Amino acid sequence: MQDIIAILRDYGLLLAIGQFPEGPIGGLALTLILALSGLLLSFPLSVLIGVGRISPNPAVARLAAAFVSVVRALPLLMLIFWAYFIVPLIIGQTVSGLTTVIVALVVYETAYLAEVVRAAILALPKGQVEASRSLGLSYVQTMKDIILPQALFNAIPSILNQFISLVKNTSVAYIISVDELTYAAYQVNAQLLTKPVEVYVILAATYFIICFSLNRLVKLVERRIHTSRQAPIAAEAAA
Amino acid sequence: MTLDFAAILTPQYTQWMLSGAMTSLALFASAWVLAFLTASLLVAIGSAPFRPAQFTVATFVEYHRNIPMLVQIFVWYFAMPQLLPDAWTTWINAHNSEFIFALIALFLNSAAYMSEDMRSGLRSLPREQMEAGRALGLSYLQTMRDVLLPQAIRAALPPLINQSLALFKATSLAMAIGVAEMTYASRQVENETYRTFETFAIASAFYVTLSFAIMALGAWVDRRNQKAAGH
């Protein structure tokens, strides 16, 4: 226990924010930045792919399904290697490990989030699309104004769950030496040499605290959404 | 960019890739079996009417669900050897320690997820089954093993197959501690040949083929369940 406190005292700041502000930001802060940017960037893409999955146009639906299946079939690590190779080819210059990891995380996350979006749309009663179309709204209007606002609201718990899995997945950035939390802890362990138990207890505990609290938050949000979605129906039934 | 698969299909590199594929498969198969057995055990322990047992299983599950797989591998590889008895560590080091620690981390993690899937499957069964089993003179464990678990596993099959896919993909993380599985082998070949596209294409084909097989199995089970529900 004393050793853990000593390590936290000597290396706590390094694990929390890396070399910042003297150098690049790292550690836990970078882990959270990676996860957040991964979620924000993959969200619009996943809505497109998720809607594409159930598009009435079979070519679009098949293309979207193929994207989701192939990405889900590959380990994240393989996607990181591909991004390392393909991104420089596309933009014509070498890119940092950080960019590589963000690209890979976004592609990976888009496939999983798209399935969340698709499931949320399919969970809505079919009558909604039919009602909206018969009122004269176009397919795009129906999606944008009727279906997606409800589906995405209902999907908030699943989206938060995806965020938790993103936080955990950022640890894979370690493989290409991006200085997030896992890599930072590995570095600290390499410097100390004799305290692997303490270092990895700190590392595991940090992830645990973050993911466990997020999980609790998801449960809370889930209950809230459930009651708020039930309320209008109950009011209707009462009236 | 011209493709040249011949450059990486020399006997040496083919050998590396094949042995990588075999290691991935061995890791997956052995971790799956151990995970499945452990998960069944966890479900049995966790559903016993004994608070400390439930708490222990819940803690095990929460630990594995809230920490990245890679970190769990590191905990086993870097930290556990300090805590295990010396004789064990010596034995493991003499028997491909990287593979063994990766296997332990992978199967324990998968067991946690699988046990949750099975537990939900179990919860979908009527309570009377346990009572009926006990009334017929079976012990708690016998009722669990012969009556409840087989049904629970059938109900939990779709999420179990999803978890199997996750486990298969997670075997790639073993490269982080130097297990020469497929991802490791492909990076090694890539380092030697600079044939990035060809090497990663072959490795990806390996993962996609097996993942698709697992997904197809999942789709088949889903269809069968839907048909069974329809009747």
Percent of residues, chain B, with pLDDT higher than 70: 98
Average pLDDT, chain A: 94
Distance of CA B210 to the CA centre of its chain: 14
| Cβ–Cβ below 8 Å for B66 and A208 | yes
**Residues of chain A contacting B187 with CB distance shorter than 8 Å:** 81
| Cβ–Cβ below 8 Å for A208 and B172 | no
- The one-letter amino acid code at A111 reads A
Q: Is the pLDDT of residue B14 over 80?
A: yes
Domain count, chain A: 1
- The one-letter amino acid code at A113 reads L
Structure tokens at A67: 């994207």
Q: Which residue has the higher pLDDT, B112 or B145?
A: B112
Instruction: Give CA–CA dist B39/B50, Å, rounded.
Output: 18
User: Which pLDDT value is given to residue A217?
Assistant: 96
User: Which pLDDT value is given to residue A239?
Assistant: 62
Per the structure, the complete domain to which residue A233 belongs is given by 2-238
Per-residue pLDDT tens over the stretch B133-188: 999 999 988 998 899 888 888 889 999 999 999 999 999 999 999 999 999 999 99
User: Which pLDDT value is given to residue B225?
Assistant: 78
Minimal Cα distance from A196: which residue of B?
B79
Of A75, A189, A201, the CB nearest to B207: A75
Per-residue pLDDT tens over the stretch B43-85: 989 988 899 999 999 999 999 999 999 999 999 999 999 999 9
User: Which pLDDT value is given to residue A232?
Assistant: 66
**Structural domains of chain B sorted by starting position, each given as residue range(s) with its CATH number in brackets:** 5-230 (1.10.3720.10)
CA distance A134 to chain B (A): 31
Which of A28, A34, A67, A72 best probes binding to B when mutated, by most B CB atoms within 10 angstroms? A72
Domain of residue A124, CATH code: 1.10.3720.10
**Residues of chain B contacting A201 with CB distance shorter than 8 Å:** 79
| Cβ–Cβ below 8 Å for A200 and B67 | no
| Cβ–Cβ below 8 Å for A215 and B66 | yes
Long-range contacts: A148-155, Cβ < 8 Å, 24+? A148/A47, A148/A51, A148/A121, A150/A124, A151/A117, A151/A120, A151/A121, A151/A123, A151/A124, A152/A47, A152/A117, A152/A120, A153/A225, A154/A120, A154/A123, A154/A124, A154/A225, A154/A229, A155/A116, A155/A117, A155/A119, A155/A120
Of A168, A204, A215, the CB nearest to B75: A204
**Residues of chain A contacting B212 with CB distance shorter than 8 Å:** 69, 73
Q: What residues of B are in the A interface, CB distance below 8 Å?
A: 62-63, 65-72, 74-75, 78-79, 82-83, 165, 169-173, 175-176, 183, 186-187, 190, 196-197, 200, 203-204, 207-208, 211-212, 215
Residues in chain B: 231
Nearest residue to B19 (alpha-carbon basis) of B189, B208, B211: B189
Q: Are A69 and B215 in contact (CB under 8 A)?
A: yes
ipTM of the complex: 0.93
Q: Is the pLDDT of residue A234 over 70?
A: no
